[in-house]
Amino acid sequence: MSSLFDSVQAGDLNLANRIVMAPLTRNRSPNAIPPDIATTYYAQRASAGLLITEATAISHQGQGYSDVPGLYGTEQLDAWKRVTDAVHAKDGKIVVQLWHVGRVSHTELQPDGGKPVAPSAITAKTKTVLIKDGVPGFVDTSEPRALDAGEIPGIVHAFAVAARSAVETAGFDGVELHGANGYLLDQFLKDGSNKRTDDYGGTIENRARLLLEATRAVVDAVGGGKTGIRLSPVTPANDAHDSNPQPLFTYVVKQLAQLNLAYIHIIEGATGGPREIADRPFDYEALKAAYREAGGKAAWMVNNGYDRPLAEEAVKEGDDLVAFGKPFISNPDLVRRLRENAPLNEIDKATMYGGGAKGYTDYPALA
């Protein structure tokens, strides 16, 4: 029977244990360039079987929050190379999360102050973060414009270029497409945000088209064994909603089963909230079964509200990887603490977004 601390293979990734650091936005990358202290931050956490970086914009248009990193400039890639070198020096494995926020953005963050882009011109009922004079603050997202069909191939291409740059230039072990939490790929998937009447809207097959095209392009760029994808079937994050998510995501995973991916990363319930949502029931075991029945062999990663007992049970029941989010912020040695059943450091919520080393690299490890 597998243990949380056993090694596991996820595509091309040979992981020392089944504990994953989930992507965690920290808003500490002015000009979209990871700072020098990011090398310390990620290296401190390299005992995880896999590190998934904070969400990282594939293009300037894909940025939705102040001081989040990117993958589209030389200085950004050079900074990420310092991070991956530091993690590899600790024998860790690290992938970068590829991000296009779509409508979850603000005109102040967009090229030339333009409108954010979306499947349809529907403003998201959510907030983004702008940092002014060093102080982060939440503001309403801006009204988006609907993408013209002719623009969509360019976005697919941007995913592929970012993936190739991440692996070949920045030295990442792989990439994860962010198809969750109400960002662009998820916006196209869900009928609450996608009201298109062309080949990218209407039917399940059409709404899934962009996510699948982007995933195939990334697989072509870096290989399926270096590619993961994150999905969130029912989270309400960033005003995400679909009227019938079970058949939608069943179709998606059946298509993904053909791509020989490294892993499928599933957020169960509301991101950072309850694992079950009363008015949004979802059968995650049926989803995994549909993926396996379609021939999918990728590692299955679960995420949301896991502690050691719940994670151990998940691995015993057949899940391959368990992602932990906020506990990794305040516990750089989380793997050791879980192994030894040691107490966890409390998180300082005031330093989660923006700032410098405080609340970022100064949380203590066990003696």
The mean pLDDT of 131-141, rounded to a whole number, is: 90
The mean pLDDT of 197-225, rounded to a whole number, is: 98
Q: Are 176 and 261 in contact (CB under 8 A)?
A: no
Q: What is the pLDDT of residues 60-112, one digit of tens each?
A: 999 999 999 999 999 999 999 999 999 999 999 999 999 999 999 999 999 99
Active site residue 41: no
The mean pLDDT of 225-239, rounded to a whole number, is: 98
Average pLDDT of the chain is: 97
pLDDT of residue 275: 94
Q: How confident is the model at residue 231 (pLDDT cuts 50, 70, 90)?
A: very high
pLDDT of residue 196: 98
* pLDDT beyond 80 at 117: yes
The mean pLDDT of 181-193, rounded to a whole number, is: 98
> What are the extents of the domains in the chain?
8-351
* pLDDT beyond 90 at 190: yes
* Percent of the chain predicted with pLDDT > 90: 98
**Which residues neighbour 285 within 8 Å (Cβ) at sequence distance 6 or greater?**
none
pLDDT of residue 250: 98
pLDDT of residue 133: 85
Tokens of 214: 């982007």
Tokens of 59: 């293009």
Fold for 8-351, please state it: TIM Barrel (3.20.20)
Q: Are 333 and 292 in contact (CB under 8 A)?
A: no
Which of 163, 10, 157, 17 has the alpha carbon at shortest distance from 80? 163
* pLDDT beyond 90 at 123: yes
* Secondary structure percentages of the chain, helix, strand, coil, to 5: 35, 20, 45
Tokens of 315: 């691995």
The mean pLDDT of 39-58, rounded to a whole number, is: 98
The mean pLDDT of 289-305, rounded to a whole number, is: 98
pTM above 0.85, yes or no: yes
* pLDDT beyond 80 at 1: no
Tokens of 198: 């062309």
pLDDT of residue 225: 98
Q: What is the pLDDT of residues 326-360, one digit of tens each?
A: 999 999 999 999 999 999 999 999 999 999 999 99
Q: How confident is the model at residue 213 (pLDDT cuts 50, 70, 90)?
A: very high
Rounded to whole angstroms, the Cα distance separating 140 from 365 reads 37
Give the residues across from 263 on adjacent strands: 228, 299
* pLDDT beyond 90 at 135: no
pLDDT of residue 240: 97
Q: Which of 41, 65, 183, 251 is catalytic?
A: 183
